[in-house]
A and B are shown apart, each in its own frame.
Chain A
Amino acid sequence: MPTAEVSNVRTLKVKRFKPSEDPKNTYLNQEKGLWAWMTTVDHKKIGLMYLGSVTFFFLVGGVLALLLRTELLSPAETFIQADTYNQFFTLHGAIMVFFVLIPSIPAALGNFVLPMQLGAKDVAFPRLNLASLYIYWIGAIFTFIALANNGLDTGWTFYTPYSTQSTTSVVWVTLGVFILGFSSILTGTNFLATIHKMRAPGITWGKLPLNLWALYATSVIQVLATPVLAITLLLLTMENVLGIGIFDPALGGDPVLFQHFFWFYSHPAVYIMIVPGFGIISEVITTFSKKHIFGYWAIALSSLAIAFIGFLVWGHHMFVSGQSSVATTVFSFLTFLVGIPTGIKILNWVATLYKGSIEMKTPMIYVFIFLFLFSIGGFTGIMLGALSADVHLHDTYYVVAHFHYVMMGGTLIALLAGLHYWWPKMTGKMYNEFLAKIAAGFIFIGFNVTFLPQFIMGSQGMPRRYYNYIDQFTIFHQTSTIGSYLLGVGFLIIAYYLYKSLMSGEKAGSNPWGSRGLEWQATSPPDFHNFDHTPVVINGPYDYHRPMEEFQLGLADSHNGHGTHHEVNPDPELAGSN
């Protein structure tokens, strides 16, 4: 079979390129040294640097969470004062949202995987990609200098008029987040252009991996929603610095307007955080079931549906804010509509397992954890979307538990699934499977012990952002704190075995999971330009009924822009008649 029909108008000569199991040249052993890393335009290195940064911020945010939970072991002062507590929960929220969840999957894993899944050498604008990393760092440094200077006590939501009256560094932190937003916009733009223009021959929209559909939907939201946050933060700064009345009633402004602006970004932002997680789940569940995804188009299009409807539901954060009754009703209705495509995905994933060949490796364990925890997050979201129930539950621990089930049980667990799944590809090393499963156990149990009690105390009336609490909630708070320590242990174990893996891990093959995904047809770790050849795709990414040879095709007469022709192992059956 020397040729492959990739379109109606062109016939390409292809041959088989089997990835080497012992690559000489990888992106890790080319361009070495600090300066090379700092100036690299390689999407893989940029992805790793994002991953490192996100890990660092996750550590900071996580330690803050443990301090908060420790303070809540007893009512009133346990070991820190109220103002310190208020600053800690503000920082925990702001760091986890802006510095961890938003860039985690798209900028870290997405950067690494997206061009490889497209069979491209890099993203469409490699320099812009590096720029977005630097903007992220600048925003981070800016924010942290401001925080070190005077702290921040407004909650991550910056609600006015509290934030306009606060004596902490509101202006500088909002400017830091403003800068950070550009990083997000540029990454989104870059991904959109890359997915549109740089697909390898044969990758039609119907053969696009679902991870890329998810990243595509995410990028659309990033590009459209983030500027609104930027405008809001600028207006807040103008009010603070120039005294122009926009949100502060004392100056003739309207505080509820701020909430509209803020949630117009921040609600779509929760989809920036979760939708890329959906992408990872689709990849991992098919690989470890060795089976075609169930309902490819249902999953692909539901990501887009979520992205678009997600723009129209921001008002559900404001049911008791005093916004108009008509608006409240419409927002509640639309909120339920956005729940449907999410539910469809869950059921399609479960259906994918049916008659599969299921291997419970660590990434798959995280997928199972995700499906369970994220479902709970989804159902409690339905509860909060119902108007009368939300009146009772708004701003209680029920909401805290809900968004941790969605953001941590969803996004972060998906990130862990993706990290363990692509780790061999990124590093060329395997990790200790046994320890990884132990850690997953700690995380699953610790997570539920932490957050299930919060649903109960929330519906009993425990408000969020409370330093002090009345005695009846003590037992729930203490259980929750113990759970958070278990979670901490889980993450420590992960840090330990991943470090061991980097140092002395067993060598990983090019395709340790037997996936049909294109990124697994590169070496582990990949070559500097991902592939030695221009890949040609004739099957969908989940066509497990087709033999592996058909996923290893590339243009027969191209050297992928390189001067020298690297050695390949053409399969005689496929390339024989060439």
Chain B
Amino acid sequence: MEETIKLIGAIMIFMGSFSLLVAAIGLLRMPDVYNRVQTGTKASTLGAIMAFIGVGLFKFESWGDGNWLGRVIILILFILLTNPVSSHVLMRAAYFMKVPLSKLTKTDKLKEDLDNNVIKEPSNE
């Protein structure tokens, strides 16, 4: 029974490592900054959550001594809260820094909103 739970935890860690490897390949191959931010944070959030659940299951026999499970849950909640926020702030900064979009881009809703004065560009001061 204990061996089976350890094996499940190890397989979860392996699936998380696969997801992070795919995220790193996407970080190399995507055409512009916005796509790179997309792959680099979404896939790595999923991979990190799977790997942390795997670590929690892998240390199944020592849940009694110390607070393994609580710390792993704190790490998962932390990744889940902070990673989308930081990717959003980064993309917004990149857009207003005028990093060029890829040539394959079809729609740009933020540019339409800026042209129609729905939102204003943040000033430099």
Q: A and B: partners? A: no
